Structure 1
């Protein structure tokens, strides 16, 4: 689970910039979040084994409003991916609405081996686009692109609201930064600040 700020990074065709949760299930994965840009890495029209239970919340919807740096309150949404105890299906819960699921039969493995939270960009053959809100993080929730209240559930369905066995990673620290805070002064649990101007 995560609560993620809704941002509007600047991108040009064929770039994209995203913020997402990535759940690795053996050789397969589930990924969900938001993407800015018309040439996305995800084909929201391709069913690829996902089954919808809510037609009023289609994949690829425009998410509004978005955060404006320094505004209050921060605009965010809760996203959960969870495995059904009864049948092993993987469900997508968006903003307290269960909207889709991936059947257990879609996966060779029945459990997740890794989870990632954060931003991702694609730039093709041009300077890289913005990530998050386009600024380097400053550890201020109202100023930064953030992911908070990250939570995992283990194979015994025990909830871990602190997820303290994580590591931060950025493959381009000149254009983007990530800061992790396990003991934030803000009442948001484990928080990740991320983003940057790119342009490298």
Structure 2
């Protein structure tokens, strides 16, 4: 399994890049970097492995810092984003990619979301900060899901599952012949 960061302006129709292929990201950590391999992964119905990822805007520089497991690994300089002194949308999710007319690999564990957090991939304890730097959990009216391959994968938002999970998104699926 790999962790990655993607930037795009049009859902990857003409723009978009991944990890260090995105110009402008400033790497600051010598041992942790975008695109690095994650050695431990969860097993369906078995041990769950979690990683902590956050993106936070520095109030002084306005740069967007990426943190992995509580350590800053680098930042996106504010100059990369036009008219964005703060974020007005936040996204969580997963993605697979294959050449045209080839089967898609599974997404996550290969299982569809079922509100059982030892089955499909998830992001938990979702929150974002407003312009006054107050944390908020997303409510249903602030959420929209995007699934361009519903025959192969799915995504579900759970507003508040409880103290351990909080607000969460669960996603994944078997992949297969999903179209281009």
Q: CA-to-partner distance for each residue in 1:70-122, whole Å, 9 max, x for gaps?
A: 113x1011111111111111111111001101222222222223211111222
Within 5 A, what are the aligned runs for 1:119-158? 119-125=94-100, 126-158=102-134
Distance 1:20 1:151 in 2: 19
How many corresponding residue pairs?
Answer: 168
Could you tell me how far apart the structure 2 residues matched to 1:97 and 1:128 are? 33
Structure with a larger share of its residues in strand: 1
Structure 1 unpaired stretches of 5+? 1-7, 9-17, 30-40
Corresponding residue for residue 181 of structure 1: 158
* TM-score when normalising by structure 2: 0.82
**CA offsets per residue over residues 39-78 of structure 1, 9 Å max, x none?**
xx6253x461122221121332211101111113x10111
Q: Which runs of 5+ in 2 are unaligned?
A: 12-16
Aligned: 1:99 with 2:73? yes
Query: 2:32 — aligned with what?
Result: 57
Q: Which of 1 and 2 has higher RCO (CA within 8 Å, sep 6+)?
A: 1
Cα distance in structure 2, aligned partners of 1:141 and 1:182: 14
| CA deviation map 1:135-187 (0-9, x unaligned) | 11221111221111111001111110x21111223122111111211131462
Once the two structures are TM-superposed, the CA of residue 23 in structure 1 deviates from its matched residue by 7.5
Contact kept? 1:135, 1:196, Cα under 8 Å: yes
2: distance between equivalents of 1:156 and 1:171?
34
> What does residue 69 of structure 1 align with?
44
Out of 114, 126, 146, which is 1:169 matched to? Answer: 146
Q: Is the Cα–Cα contact under 8 Å of residues 4 and 35 in structure 2 kept in the other structure?
A: no
